[in-house]
């Protein structure tokens, strides 16, 4: 058989089919069927009718939103400082901001738990605050990295053009630098917001008993309710698709 370049894609296609497309198909089949295997919308109707599941969705969105905003507020100045620092030290500084990502996740949250426990006395007093701290701690590098990239590669002549045309420091930031960093902000948000909606391990480990979307899936699956668990997964998938469409639209502008 003659070698073609397209054959290099075969391993990934196999992977894609077995571990992505097939499971996705299973999720959708289960999401739209009941216990006896009949097609139904009942799972979805149930989700939107139950105040408990809607409350979970709202809580998840809220946790993700607060996490994302705080990450952005911390990451933007950090990335700016990193990008503007002297040429040689820059990558070492960036490394210092990124290295926490390489430490095992469970280990990091366990360590955080001990610290918070020592400060607060009892973790149960501030479940929401602890959750946000844990989430921000976990996701911050994912926000810093895309922001650093976009700020680091920013065309200096555009900033000079802004100053040349009379922009003071404030105006320069809001009408030149911020619009130019939009692609970085958008990808930072996708890297943080969506995982933050489902990352229930942080909540579990920090003794926050409130459910988020991820914990909901877990609880259904633990109870062998494949249909409702798949339904929640399908809803999350829908949110992701909506979100990335919005992002594309924002980037195209």
Least Å distance between CB 155 and another protein? 7
Nearer to another protein, 176 or 191 (CB): 176
Farthest-apart Cα atoms in the chain, separation: 71
Least Å distance between CB 159 and another protein? 9
Least Å distance between CB 167 and another protein? 5
CB of 134 closer than 8 Å to CB of 206: yes
CA distance 180 to 151: 8
Nearer to another protein, 147 or 197 (CB): 147
CA distance 214 to 199: 6
> What backbone torsions phi and psi does residue 86 show, to the nearest 5 degrees?
-55, 150
Nearer to another protein, 51 or 157 (CB): 157
Binding site for another protein (CB under 8 A): 155, 157-158, 160-168, 171, 175-176, 179-180, 182, 253
CA distance 134 to 28: 32
What's the token pair of residue 64? 């993700």
Nearer to another protein, 5 or 169 (CB): 169
Nearer to another protein, 92 or 252 (CB): 252
Least Å distance between CB 178 and another protein? 10
Rounded (10°) CA dihedral 185, 186, 191, 192: 70
Least Å distance between CB 168 and another protein? 6
Rounded (10°) CA dihedral 39, 41, 47, 51: -130
């Amino acid at each position: 058989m003659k070698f073609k370049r397209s054959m290099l894609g075969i391993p990934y296609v196999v992977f894609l089919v077995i571990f992505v497309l097939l499971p996705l198909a299973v999720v959708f089949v289960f999401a739209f069927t009941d216990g006896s295997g009949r097609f139904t919308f009942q799972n979805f109707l149930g989700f939107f009718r139950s105040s408990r599941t809607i409350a979970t969705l709202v809580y998840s969105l809220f946790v993700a939103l607060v996490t994302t905003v705080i990450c952005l507020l911390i990451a933007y100045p950090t990335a700016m400082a990193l990008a503007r620092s002297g040429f040689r030290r820059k990558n070492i500084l960036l490394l210092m901001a990124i290295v926490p990502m390489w430490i095992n996740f469970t280990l990091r949250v366990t360590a955080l738990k001990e610290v918070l426990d020592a400060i607060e006395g009892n973790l149960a007093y501030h479940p929401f605050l602890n959750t946000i701290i844990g989430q921000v701690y976990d996701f911050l590098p994912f926000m810093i990295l895309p922001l650093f990239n976009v700020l680091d590669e920013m065309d200096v002549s555009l900033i000079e053009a802004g100053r040349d045309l009379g922009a003071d420091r404030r105006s320069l930031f809001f009408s030149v630098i911020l619009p130019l960093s939009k692609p970085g902000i958008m990808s930072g948000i996708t890297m943080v917001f969506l995982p933050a909606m489902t990352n229930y391990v942080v909540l579990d480990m920090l003794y926050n008993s409130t459910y988020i979307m991820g914990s909901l899936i877990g609880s259904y699956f633990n109870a062998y309710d494949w249909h409702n668990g798949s339904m929640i997964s399908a809803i999350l998938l829908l949110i992701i698709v909506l979100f990335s469409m919005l992002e594309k639209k924002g980037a195209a502008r």
